[in-house]
């Protein structure tokens, strides 16, 4: 069973177009089928295309979500076109059975889908890492005494920093001792 394509992590949309889905399904289903079986698939896709188009126009079931009906109609339209392409290719080349590896255009499309899939997985992993980093960050509002606040402002001014940058660098230098004491060794804030 093929892994489901991830949605774009930030947009929530399917990664594969109706053509991508149709081409992938036809490529897998057509493998090893003869000319007669392919002709049957073309006829079946024509019927399904017509049925889903009627459902989309409102003549079909009301139990489906509107987006599902639109997507289903688009996929069957694309599948019908792809089954016809496979049928025409087999007739033009004289193949008795369909072999996906011999289909140059289908192979190009399959590689492109796999590359997009790998890219989507990488993007999803990067998005997850960014979210984890954001969750690990601590954002705090700190109220300092007037004396401490003046010291931080002076240090920040001398180094060309914002006071919050000095506090962030100060926090990064914290050392926790075995007994739970917290200290900061001497350091110079930097840009």
Question: Tens of pLDDT along 132-151?
Answer: 888 877 777 888 999 999 99
DSSP three-state, residue 144: coil
- Do 37 and 124 reside in the same domain of the chain? yes
Q: How far apart are CA 77 and CA 50, in angstroms?
A: 8
- Do 170 and 114 reside in the same domain of the chain? no
Residue 11: pLDDT over 50 = no
- Do 114 and 172 reside in the same domain of the chain? no
pLDDT at 146: 93
Mean pLDDT score across all residues of the chain: 86
Band (6; pLDDT cuts 50, 70, 90) = very low
- Do 129 and 159 reside in the same domain of the chain? no
Q: Quick: pLDDT tens for 113-133.
A: 999 999 989 999 999 888 888
Residue 61: pLDDT over 60 = no
pLDDT at 131: 87
Which range has the top average pLDDT, 32-46, 64-78, 114-128, 163-177? Answer: 32-46
- Do 66 and 22 reside in the same domain of the chain? yes
Number of domains in the chain: 2
- Do 92 and 150 reside in the same domain of the chain? no
Which domain covers residue 161, as residue numbers?
A: 146-183
| Ramachandran bin of 163, using left for φ above 0, alpha for ψ from -120 to 50, beta for the remaining angles | alpha
Residue 32: pLDDT over 50 = yes
Tokens of 55: 């459902």
pLDDT at 5: 43
pLDDT at 10: 39
Residue 130 forms part of a structural domain: yes
pLDDT at 147: 93
- Do 59 and 89 reside in the same domain of the chain? yes
Residue 52 forms part of a structural domain: yes
- Do 73 and 46 reside in the same domain of the chain? yes
- Average pLDDT (59-63) is 53
- Do 37 and 109 reside in the same domain of the chain? yes
pLDDT at 33: 96
DSSP three-state, residue 14: strand
What 28-35 contacts at long range (C-beta under 8 Å, 24+ apart), as own/partner pairs, is 28/2, 28/100, 30/83, 30/86, 30/98, 30/100, 31/98, 31/99, 31/100, 32/97, 32/98, 32/99, 33/97, 33/98, 34/96, 34/97, 35/87, 35/90, 35/91, 35/95, 35/96
Residue 99 forms part of a structural domain: yes
- Do 74 and 155 reside in the same domain of the chain? no
Instruction: Mark which of 113, 136, 159 sits at the end of a domain.
Output: 136
- Do 81 and 175 reside in the same domain of the chain? no
The DSSP bridge pattern shows strands 182-183 and 175-176 to be antiparallel
Residue 85 forms part of a structural domain: yes
pTM over cut 0.75 = no
- Do 25 and 116 reside in the same domain of the chain? yes
Residue 26 forms part of a structural domain: yes
């Amino acid at each position: 069973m093929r892994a489901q394509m991830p949605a774009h992590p930030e947009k929530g949309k399917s990664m594969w177009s109706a053509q991508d889905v149709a081409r992938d399904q036809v490529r897998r289903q057509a493998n090893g089928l003869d000319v007669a079986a392919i002709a049957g698939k073309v006829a079946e896709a024509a019927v399904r295309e017509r049925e889903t188009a009627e459902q989309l126009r409102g003549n079909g079931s009301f139990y489906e979500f509107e987006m599902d009906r639109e997507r289903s109609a688009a996929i069957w339209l694309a599948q019908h076109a792809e089954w016809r392409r496979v049928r025409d290719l087999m007739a033009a080349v004289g193949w008795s059975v369909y072999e996906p590896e011999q289909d140059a255009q289908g192979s190009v499309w399959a590689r492109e889908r796999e590359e997009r899939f790998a890219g989507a997985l990488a993007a999803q992993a990067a998005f997850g890492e960014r979210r984890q980093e954001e969750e690990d960050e601590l954002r705090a509002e700190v109220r300092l005494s007037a004396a401490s606040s003046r010291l931080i402002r002076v240090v920040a001014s001398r180094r060309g920093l914002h006071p919050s940058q000095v506090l962030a660098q100060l926090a990064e230098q914290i050392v926790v001792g075995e007994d739970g004491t917290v200290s900061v060794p001497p350091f110079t804030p930097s840009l």
